[in-house]
């Protein structure tokens, strides 16, 4: 079998899909994207295609090594997202050729379903609390919310009080729910210790990116001052980015993104490395159906996977939801806060190609907002 073409489709709300075709008619789908740089990643896919066209898609490990090692320069969000999408599509092809779901080819699932959490939004504490109650009514026992808006490197304590008020209102409304709080790297070292201390009484499931993961020395300070689990990893792209963090012992949960960190091949290895340090896995996935399916296959075979992010119906996706792009929508049904593992061959999602093509005519040029502090300096989004 030979790869005959690799096409990308830039589709709303902010995604990029990829289709690999072969001379035997088997096709594979992938999702190579970094949010805000979709066209750049598509160009990187195009550059990698020069090597892949004409090759046998079966040799995933070798193709991965050529894409990673063969170009001299390596790593980073653009290249690793391009490799990720191609890798997912190669696994999709392999599964379809073998008539097996990818998790079966990775050794077989070690669980029957995967716990998932839902995002909750809302600007005021009461709105957030109501949104959490709605999620509980839908069967979720775990939620995640944004923890902070703009915070300058040293900001007013009032902003910490506001964050605490929101979390406290949610905790009162839902005493038994597991709460993850994502700080998006918006907090800086001088204020983070006070913030984390103030959140301790709420027994959070985790705090995510309490500071940016590149400010790792600050993570060390947080870890030695709190019992709240620390999660990070959506902005790390390979085993080499994760290795010092895993070995440090300061992080409790890692969140590699299956569309940013080299795909199924690489994230499976990152998950295994984490397992050897007793660190949990919670793959990052605010993306589309191909990325989510890829996550579930890695979750299926990773003993340390404990919860899966997903974006069904979240605020980012207005007008083009994850389920709109596939015909077997039931594959992502959530029951009692759990998703079943995909059982169809390959990724197990049936991509609606006509819909993908139609949406690619519109495309998108999604960029995250640029926030500024009161003094005019740019803020972390």
Residue ranges in contact with Mg ion by CB under 5 A? 182
Single out the catalytic residue among 184, 188, 260, 364.
184
List of E strands, 15-82: 15-22, 27-30
End-to-end CA distance of the chain: 45
Report the residue closest to Mg ion, judged by CB: 182
β-sheet bridge partners, residue 9: 17
Joined together, the tokens standing for residue 210 give 């309490």
- Residues 6+ positions from 296 with CB-CB distance below 8 Å: 103, 114, 308, 339, 341, 342
Rounded CA separation 81/381 (Å): 20
Return the percent helix, strand and coil in the chain, to nearest 5. Answer: 40, 15, 40
Rounded CA separation 244/88 (Å): 26
Single out the catalytic residue among 103, 188, 284, 297.
284
Considering the complex, what minimum distance in angstroms separates the CB of residue 235 from Mg ion? 9
Cβ proximity to Mg ion, 44 vs 145, nearer residue: 145
Considering the complex, what minimum distance in angstroms separates the CB of residue 135 from Mg ion? 18
Considering the complex, what minimum distance in angstroms separates the CB of residue 363 from Mg ion? 25
Rounded CA separation 307/334 (Å): 13
Give me the count of residues in the chain. 381
Considering the complex, what minimum distance in angstroms separates the CB of residue 50 from Mg ion? 34
Cβ proximity to Mg ion, 322 vs 359, nearer residue: 322
Based on the residue annotation, tell me whether 157 is a catalytic residue of this protein: no
Rounded CA separation 53/56 (Å): 9
Residue of 145, 78, 90, 89 whose CA lies nearest to 117: 145
Considering the complex, what minimum distance in angstroms separates the CB of residue 25 from Mg ion? 39
Cβ proximity to Mg ion, 101 vs 180, nearer residue: 180
Rounded CA separation 113/299 (Å): 9
Location of structure tokens 């091949």: 265
Joined together, the tokens standing for residue 297 give 């296959």
Cβ proximity to Mg ion, 291 vs 351, nearer residue: 291
Considering the complex, what minimum distance in angstroms separates the CB of residue 299 from Mg ion? 17
CB atoms inside a 10 Å sphere around CB 131:
18
Cβ proximity to Mg ion, 181 vs 347, nearer residue: 181
Cβ proximity to Mg ion, 236 vs 326, nearer residue: 236
Considering the complex, what minimum distance in angstroms separates the CB of residue 187 from Mg ion? 13
Cβ proximity to Mg ion, 8 vs 311, nearer residue: 311
What would the DSSP string read from start to end of 217-254?
A: HHHHHHHTT--S-EEE-TT--SHHHHHHHHHHS--SEE
**Cβ atoms of residues 318 and 342 within 8 Å:** no
CA distances from 345 to 93, 102, 113, 174, 297 (A): 9, 7, 17, 39, 11
**Four-residue CA torsion sign, 349, 355, 358, 362:** negative
Based on the residue annotation, tell me whether 284 is a catalytic residue of this protein: yes
Considering the complex, what minimum distance in angstroms separates the CB of residue 182 from Mg ion? 4
Grouping H, G, I as helix, E, B as strand and the rest as coil, residue 320 is coil
User: Which of the residues are catalytic?
Assistant: 184, 284
């Amino acid at each position: 079998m030979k790869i005959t073409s690799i096409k990308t489709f830039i589709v709303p709300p902010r995604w990029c899909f990829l289709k690999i075709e072969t001379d035997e008619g088997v096709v594979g789908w992938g999702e190579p994207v970094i949010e805000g740089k979709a066209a750049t990643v598509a160009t990187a896919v195009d550059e990698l295609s020069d090597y892949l066209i004409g090759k046998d898609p079966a040799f995933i490990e070798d193709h991965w090594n050529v894409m990673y090692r063969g170009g001299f320069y390596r790593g980073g969000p653009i290249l690793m997202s391009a490799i990720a999408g191609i890798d997912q599509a190669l696994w999709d092809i392999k599964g379809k050729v073998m008539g097996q779901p990818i998790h079966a080819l990775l050794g077989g699932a070690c669980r029957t379903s995967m716990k998932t959490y839902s995002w909750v939004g809302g600007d005021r504490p009461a709105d957030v609390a109501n949104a959490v109650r709605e999620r509980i009514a839908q069967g979720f026992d775990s939620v995640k919310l944004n923890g902070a808006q703009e915070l300058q490197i040293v900001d007013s304590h009032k902003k910490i009080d506001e964050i605490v008020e929101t979390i406290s209102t949610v905790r009162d409304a839902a005493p038994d729910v597991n709460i993850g709080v994502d700080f998006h790297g918006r907090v800086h070292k001088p204020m983070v210790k006070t913030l984390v201390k103030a959140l301790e009484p709420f027994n959070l499931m985790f705090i995510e990116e309490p500071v940016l993961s590149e400010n790792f020395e600050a993570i060390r300070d947080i870890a030695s001052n709190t019992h709240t689990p620390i999660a990070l990893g959506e902005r790390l792209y390979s085993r080499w980015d994760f290795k010092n963090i895993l070995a440090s012992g300061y992080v409790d949960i890692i969140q590699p993104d299956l569309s940013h960190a080299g795909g199924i091949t690489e994230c499976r290895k990152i998950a295994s490395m984490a397992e050897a340090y007793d660190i949990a896995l919670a793959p990052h996935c605010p993306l589309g159906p191909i990325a989510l399916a890829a996550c579930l296959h890695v979750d299926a075979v990773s003993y340390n996977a404990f919860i899966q992010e997903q974006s069904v119906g979240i605020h980012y996706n207005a007008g083009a939801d994850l389920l709109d792009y596939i015909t077997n929508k039931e594959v992502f049904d959530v029951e009692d806060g759990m998703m079943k593992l995909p059982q169809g061959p390959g990724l197990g999602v049936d991509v609606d190609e006509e819909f993908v093509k139609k949406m690619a005519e519109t495309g998108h040029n999604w960029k995250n907002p640029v926030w500024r502090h009161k003094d005019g300096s740019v803020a972390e989004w």
